[in-house]
Structure 1
């Protein structure tokens, strides 16, 4: 009987852990450079540091080639991996992100930004 109770309790604990697990997420920003402007290395460093402090990992796609498959692709795409959708949303609502807005807007216009949750 004790063995059965132990197995049942273990099963409940595992189910609880699965329910608490958060799925990774990716934020995607479709960006158009401002004519004649360049993203400053200082801004990129500060943005990457702020992202990391909020549980994100910048995939360094800002100057990567974007190849359209269907539809018209944006000029640049910024992709960040996050521990969860909640972490991504919290970051984009944070003071760290809003403090970088003035510098960011000098060099780029963001057409769309969204977060996608990834099932594991």
Structure 2
């Protein structure tokens, strides 16, 4: 009976240790935030042709959208573009992969017809 308890204790300790190591590993890679500034030149075509394709491509890549359009104000410097999108990804590599994926690049060909897009990513602070 004592041997059973020892083995059970060892397995529980192993599982706990593995969970802690996994948690530490996840913290080692900070999240990435992608900021898109878009000057839309044809709002109807942009919304109907580009947005659905881009949304699907990015959602399939693990994007978590935090801001999409909405009201913006300038607090300092030049005013923001007509449309701002803020997204979060697990890390910088996943953000880069999402915006260089074949599905997104195809959508972007359409988006470039209806607006001027400036998109950049920044590495966040580990949470």
- Answer whether TM exceeds 0.5 for this pair: yes
Moved more, 20-29 or 95-104: 20-29
- For structure 1, list consecutive stretches of 5 or more residues without a partner in the other structure: none
Taking the aligned partners of 1:24 and 1:108, their CA distance within structure 2 comes to 28
CA contact (8 A) 1:59 1:80 kept: yes
Q: 1:78 aligns with which of 82, 85, 96?
A: 85
1:107 alignment partner, one of 104, 107, 114: 114
Q: How does 1:11-26 map to 2 (within 5 A)?
A: 13-21=18-26, 22-26=29-33
Aligned pair in 2 of structure 1 residues 65, 116: CA closer, same or farther (>3 Å)? farther
> In structure 2, what is the Cα distance between the partners aligned to 1:68 and 1:114?
20
Q: What is the rounded CA distance, in whole Å, between the counterparts of 1:82 and 1:99 in structure 2?
A: 20
Q: Tell me by how many angstroms 1:60 deviates.
A: 5.0
Aligned length: 116
Structure 2: segments with no counterpart, 5+ residues: 1-5
Aligned mates of 2:49, 2:58 — CA distance in 1: 14
Mark the structure with the bigger radius of gyration. Answer: 2
Structure 2 match to 1:90: 97
TM-score by length of structure 1 reads 0.75
When you count helix as a share of all residues, which structure comes out higher?
Answer: 2
TM-score, length-scaled by structure 2: 0.71
